[in-house]
Amino acid sequence: MDLSLLPDGGMRWLDAAGPKSTIVLSTRIRLARNVRGIPFSQRAKDSDRTAVVERVSEAAASTEHLASAVAFHLDQMDRTERQLLHERHLVSKELAGLERESRPRAGAALLVQDQVGVMVNEEDHLRLHGMWSGFDLEDAYAAVESVDAELGRLVPFAFHPEFGYLTSCPTNAGTGLRASVLIHLPGLVLTKEINKVLQGLSQVGLTFRGLYGEGSEVVGNFFQLSNQTTLGKTEDELIDHLGKIVRQVVEYEEQARDVLLRTAPEEVEDKTWRAYGLLKHARRLSFEETMNLLSGVRLGVGLNLLPGPGVYTLNKLLIYTQPAHLAAMDGRSTGDRELPTVRAAFVRRLLEAEPS
């Protein structure tokens, strides 16, 4: 169960090499699939879930794209390890059994190879997902689609000729596709245009969430934008549509940043340098404050108001300053009172290695 078995810890998407990666941190594709003939999640017994893991693992071994996948059996992992996977966006809170008082269900598992993962026994039997650096719907979809095709040849997926793929919750039926981008919109927030933009999204079938998916709050001006419906359109149509809208949102964000630079350049410069100064000197930092400060610094880097740090470092900080990451790094529990101190020290160490 060693995360270090994963090249890049399963997070190549952090590298900021993708298109528009200052504004769009990552692109994620997920496909919901279920195994025909086995009861869906709500009705499944433990033996059904175990059967699913066995079927999927066996099939994966015979594919090209999952043959050397690392397998994580969540029901056999301790809480910090499971939280680590969650903080890396590799498993949902639900699958990892991280809701209060909960435990992972029998058969809860994750397979990961390169940038594609399969959550097993989440809300659906299979949730295939891929996360790509920057704004890159095409590559992310192509990768997940290949795995889907390979697995689909070996495991019979529940499919209805009229409705398409059948899923546990009808909102995911049809394509089973959710495409999303993690996008940083401080310009729209500062110019107070954000609500107009978010309202517009819902009118064109898109929805937004915080960093950790459904129900999570927006902090640090990081939004997840995704399609709301999965039915009645083809995968290509859904992806094209999301792509078009996200390009527009990116443009709005760039315009908002231009407005800020024109109307309040010193205030923006001040804001971003203060955020940098606090990150570089604070001795205690909560994760929420860290996110907000990283947002300020990221804006400054995007506008060339700050000479550094690099976007890769900013991305890494978003992930590695989360509780389980700090706890694991420092041999502590995620509830340790000293985590804010450990976090601040870690932030300083990473920033000091960077130009400023």
Binding site for a copy of itself (CB under 8 A): 266-267, 269-270, 273-274, 276-278, 280-284, 341, 344
Least distance in Å: CB of 261 to a copy of itself?
A: 14
HEC assignment per residue over 67-120: CCCEEEEHHHCCHHHHHHHHHCCCCCCCCCCCCCCCCCCCCCEEEEECCEEEEE
Least distance in Å: CB of 291 to a copy of itself?
A: 17
Least distance in Å: CB of 307 to a copy of itself?
A: 12
Q: Give whichever of 247 and 281 is closer to a copy of itself, judged by the CB atom.
A: 281
Q: Give whichever of 105 and 274 is closer to a copy of itself, judged by the CB atom.
A: 274
Least distance in Å: CB of 331 to a copy of itself?
A: 19
Burial of 125 (0-12, 13-18, 19+ CB in 10 A): buried
Please spell the DSSP secondary structure of 269-325, one letter per residue.
HHHHHHHHHHHHH-S---HHHHHHHHHHHHHHHHTTSS----HHHHHHHHHHTSHHH
The CB density around residue 341, as the number of other CB atoms within 10 Å, is 16
Is residue 84 within 8 Å of residue 328, measured between CB atoms? yes
Distance (Å, rounded) from C-alpha 315 to C-alpha 256? 22
Distance (Å, rounded) from C-alpha 195 to C-alpha 185? 11
Residue 254 token pair: 């760039």
Q: Give whichever of 234 and 263 is closer to a copy of itself, judged by the CB atom.
A: 263
Least distance in Å: CB of 343 to a copy of itself?
A: 11
Q: Give whichever of 175 and 295 is closer to a copy of itself, judged by the CB atom.
A: 295
Least distance in Å: CB of 255 to a copy of itself?
A: 23
Q: Give whichever of 254 and 269 is closer to a copy of itself, judged by the CB atom.
A: 269
Q: Give whichever of 14 and 305 is closer to a copy of itself, judged by the CB atom.
A: 305
Q: Give whichever of 246 and 275 is closer to a copy of itself, judged by the CB atom.
A: 275
Least distance in Å: CB of 265 to a copy of itself?
A: 10
Residue whose pair of structure tokens reads 């009229």 in the numeric block: 162
Distance (Å, rounded) from C-alpha 170 to C-alpha 172? 5
